[in-house]
């Protein structure tokens, strides 16, 4: 899927294409998986094996809307930062668990895209009681963690297919 996405980007927007990093080294993907402490979905590993996020030019030319995709190393750094800031926080008692854990941060959230230095698109490997492991979350300050709309795709394969449809349009 991601080979086709990248081919389409090269035709549609050479400027966006120039922001893409080369494929991640398998050791980088393995290190990320060890850091996460869970098996990454195959569709997500396929993405990293095709394009390891975006370079700094991606800030101006986000791959999905205004979101710059992170490299495997940047994902690890973002997880470390979020764990240091929110890893010891208790569950949010005022939030009813729905598709997402009622938390400021979860150790099994894998932030793969950012906007303005904040994690925005997250691969959720620890969903709430009504969610699905591997769902894609759109996070931002003030997001309603109880709302169904926080989940923008059932998994990374569905997210990738929607991105391809957008590029084709």
- Please answer whether residues 126 and 109 qualify as being in contact, where contact means their C-beta atoms are separated by less than 8 angstroms: yes
Classify domain 2-168 by CATH number: 3.40.1580.10
In this predicted model, what pLDDT tens digit does every residue of 22-44 receive, in sequence order? 999 999 999 999 999 999 999 99
**pLDDT at residue 118 in the model:** 82
Instruction: Tell me how far apart the alpha carbons of residues 139 and 103 are, in angstroms, rounded to a whole number.
Output: 12
Write down the H helix ranges in the chain.
2-12, 14-17, 26-36, 42-48, 72-86, 156-168
The answer on pLDDT for 169 being more than 90 is no
**pLDDT at residue 59 in the model:** 87
The answer on pLDDT for 48 being more than 90 is yes
Taking residues 99-116, what's their average pLDDT? 95
**pLDDT at residue 112 in the model:** 97
**Residues in the chain, how many?**
169
**pLDDT at residue 117 in the model:** 78
The answer on pLDDT for 116 being more than 90 is no
pTM: 0.94
């Amino acid at each position: 899927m991601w080979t086709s996405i990248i081919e389409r980007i090269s035709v549609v927007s050479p400027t966006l294409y120039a922001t893409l990093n080369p494929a991640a080294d398998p050791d980088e993907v393995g290190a990320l998986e060890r850091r996460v402490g869970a098996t990454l979905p195959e569709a997500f590993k396929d993405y990293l094996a095709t394009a390891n996020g975006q370079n700094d030019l991606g800030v101006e030319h986000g791959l999905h809307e205004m979101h710059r995709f992170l490299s495997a190393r940047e994902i690890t750094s973002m997880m470390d930062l979020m764990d240091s800031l929110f890893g010891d926080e208790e569950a949010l008692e005022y939030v009813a668990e729905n598709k997402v854990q009622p938390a400021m941060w979860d150790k099994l959230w894998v932030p793969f895209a950012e906007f303005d230095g904040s994690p925005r698109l997250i691969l959720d490997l620890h969903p709430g009681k009504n969610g699905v492991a591997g769902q894609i979350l759109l996070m931002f300050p003030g997001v309603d963690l109880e709302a169904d709309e926080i989940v923008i795709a059932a998994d990374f394969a569905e997210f990738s297919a929607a991105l391809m449809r957008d590029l084709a349009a």
